[in-house]
A = this chain, B = another copy of it.
Amino acid sequence: MPREVDRDSRRGRITDAVFLLADERGLEGVTLRDVAARAGVSLGAVQRCFGTKDEMLKFALDEVGRRVLARAGGTADEAARALALPERAEARVWLAFVAQAAVSPNLAPALRASYADLEGMFERLLGDRVRARALVALADGLTAHVLIGHLTPEQAREVLDRCLAGQALDHLGAG
C-alpha cells in the first residue's frame, strides 16, 4: 500500500474547515474545493474521507452537536448561558444546519438527536420537561437574534438573565 496518512486527523482538519467556511458564508457556501483548500488537502482527499458531500455535512453536524453538548454542563444557569451565548462561529454553523434540516430530510434526524440530548440534559437539571423545552427554545431564538444583529450579545444576556430570574416571561397574559 502507499503511505497512509492519518485518517482521523485528516477528517478532523476537514471538519474544522467546514466550520470555518460555514461560519463565513453559510452552509450553502461550503464547496468541496474550498473545504479542501482551507484544510490544506486535495479535493480527492475530501472525497475519499467522506464519499459524498452530504456525508461530510452530516459528520460535521454530529460534531457540532457534540461540541455544543460538551460545553453545556454545570448548573442550569451556566448551561443556558453557554447555549444562548455560544461561540459566534459555532452558533452560525448550528443555525445553518437548523435551516437546512428544515427542508432536507436526511439531515433532520441527526439534528433531532442533538436536540433530544440537549433537552434531556436540561430536563435532568430542571426536573421539568416543559421548562427544559422553553429554555432551549429561548436560547436558540436569542442566539439567532444575535447572529442577525437584531440584539447585541449584552442585550441577549439581559433577556436571559431576566428569564432565569423568573421576571421576564411572567404573567404575559396580563399584558
Q: A residues near B, CB below 8 A?
A: 23-29, 75-77, 80, 92, 95-96, 98-104, 108, 111-112, 115-116, 119, 125-128, 130-131, 133-142, 144-145, 147-151, 155-156, 158-159, 162-166, 168-173, 175
Q: Which residues of B contact A127 (CB under 8 A)?
A: 175
For A158, the closest partner residue in chain B by CB is B130
Task: Classify the interface of chain A: helix, strand, loop or mixed.
Answer: helix
For A100, the closest partner residue in chain B by CB is B26
**Residues A76 and B172 in contact in the complex (CB < 8 Å), given A102-B148, A138-B137:** yes
Find out whether the CB atom of A144 lies under 8 angstroms from the CB atom of B150. Answer: no
* C-alpha gap A147/B140 in the complex (Å): 13
* C-alpha gap A95/B147 in the complex (Å): 13
**Residues A164 and B159 in contact in the complex (CB < 8 Å), given A95-B99, A98-B99, A141-B140:** no
Nearest CB in chain B: distance from A122 CB, A: 8
Find out whether the CB atom of B100 lies under 8 angstroms from the CB atom of A98. Answer: no
Find out whether the CB atom of A172 lies under 8 angstroms from the CB atom of B141. Answer: no
Find out whether the CB atom of A98 lies under 8 angstroms from the CB atom of B144. Answer: yes
* C-alpha gap A29/B139 in the complex (Å): 28
